[in-house]
Structure 1
Amino acid sequence: MNRILVLVRHGQSEWNLKNLFTGWKDPDLTEKGVAEAVAAGEKLRDLRIRFDVAYTSVLTRAQHTLRLILDGIGQADLETIRDQALNERDYGELTGLNKDDARARFGEEQVHIWRRSFDVPPPGGESLKDTATRVLPYFEAEILPRVLKGENVLVAAHGNSLRALIMELEGLNGEEILARELDTGIPIVYRLSEDGEIVSKDVLKD
């Protein structure tokens, strides 16, 4: 029996649209983001997966995405667990800055290092390594055990918190996961064996 784990990055947020570093700030979805979440629900409905539990962060954009997906698959009353362990990477002093303005303020090379190195955090914020240190213990203690006992689990979260999960699931190193782009509103469907090995992976793009 395959065990199903589905990961979905939230739909486009208001700050994604404005090209701002968002982190733990709490903008909602744009109209496009709502449409992406609705489309994600339609794709999952076509697979006819019945989920046993859903997980999300404490941030509005992820929770809104999850609600729209659950409405779309006819599981609006599904048990849903929210935890800040699944929040986006904290961008510290970059939070709220337009990415072009950040380059002008700190220098293009420095901003590139903060964005694309595995273990160098921006001032007052988290690196991807720090984010993984926060996310992975929660995943291993709360989410993965439910998958491994045969439950179908849906996680709606953020680009970097999901990168941490994917790094663990796929055995990637820091450079490999940093090169992995996650599109907004696109479900990634993993089927796992009883020992947590990946049997198959499907990215539900159009």
Structure 2
Amino acid sequence: MSKYKLFLLRHGEGAWNKENRFCSWVDQKLSENGVKEAQDCGRLLKEQGYKFDQVFCSILSRSVQTAWLVQEAMGQEWVPVIKSWRLNERHYGSLIGLNRAEMALKHGEEKVKLWRRSYDITPPPIDESHPYFLEIYNDRRYNTCDVPKEKLPRAESLKQVLDRLLPYWESTVVPEIKKGKTVLISAHGNSCRALLKHLEGISDEAIAGVTLPTGIPVLLELDDNLRPVKPRQLLGDQEKIKAAIKKVEDQGKALPSK
């Protein structure tokens, strides 16, 4: 029997989503379309009568901005928001800033799919010669983390995302859910996929096939032990959701040469 409701949300489209680049820990605001996606998500949740008691998000602007816009559209701006780097997007290392389709043309679609979707393959790490290294590691938001800046990742597999997310989930999110609160986690494609893998017991192989489009809320109904009692629900127009999933999956395909 369903006891708790948990909502996962991949942030609205960011500027680099639109450009099909690996964004990762580079801080990007939402695109115009991403703002609309977040507002539409909030309106849908309001129409369906949902109310949140607690919101969690990462410390990246696109995640924070999405949470704000959803709350505003729901008329629930007052609901508390807690931010943590542990909900950040996966760290794509030296791939950050590169175009996925161009990478597929250069390295092959299968290699890019492994980098993007596999569970335990880590891309090459970022180093100080990378054009975005200083932009990330000189950002003072990373002075607020619960680990020293030099211990923060330089690249991550999805497994490593789950490893850094789980302690936060257990210590901070779970107690709020167990108080009977309805929780929204406004995060990223990979932090949400990692949590889904944990909650639903998805295999290392099958997680590669799980795609979350931007701005689409995912409802999980959980039992006493925080195990799903029914399949996850992606809320909204199902045809539009199918098209959005295909769009994400196609990002790693090589574009035909002109």
Is TM more than 0.5 here? yes
- Report the equivalent of 2:25: 24
Deviation string for 1:39-84 (max 9, x for gaps)?
Answer: 1101110222221110000001111111000001111121100000
User: CA offset at residue 101 of structure 1?
Assistant: 3.1
Once residues 206 and 72 of structure 2 are traced to their aligned partners in structure 1, the CA distance between those partners, rounded to angstroms, is 34
What's the Cα RMSD here? 1.5
Unaligned runs of 5+ in 2: 126-154, 238-258
Distance 1:198 1:107, change over 3 A: closer
Deviation string for 1:99-128 (max 9, x for gaps)?
Answer: 133345555443332223211111111111
- Report the equivalent of 2:38: 37
Aligned counterpart for 2:225 among listed residues 175, 195, 205: 195
CA contact (8 A) 1:148 1:195 kept: no
Larger Rg: 2
Distance 1:179 1:11, change over 3 A: same
Q: Hey, which bits of structure 1, 4+ residues long, moved more than 6 A?
A: none
- Report the equivalent of 2:183: 153
Give the TM-score normalised by structure 1.
0.94
The aligned length equals 206
Give the TM-score normalised by structure 2.
0.76
CA contact (8 A) 2:117 2:207 kept: no
Partner of 1:188: helix, strand, or coil? Answer: strand
Aligned counterpart for 1:144 among listed residues 157, 160, 174: 174
Unaligned runs of 5+ in 1: none
1:25 maps to a residue whose letter is V
User: CA offset at residue 27 of structure 1?
Assistant: 1.0
Aligned counterpart for 2:203 among listed residues 163, 173, 176: 173
Once residues 120 and 202 of structure 1 are traced to their aligned partners in structure 2, the CA distance between those partners, rounded to angstroms, is 28
Once residues 24 and 110 of structure 1 are traced to their aligned partners in structure 2, the CA distance between those partners, rounded to angstroms, is 21
User: CA offset at residue 195 of structure 1?
Assistant: 2.0
Identical counterparts, % of pairs: 42
Distance 1:109 1:48, change over 3 A: closer
Q: Which has the higher strand share?
A: 1
Deviation string for 1:121-147 (max 9, x for gaps)?
Answer: 111111111111111221122112211
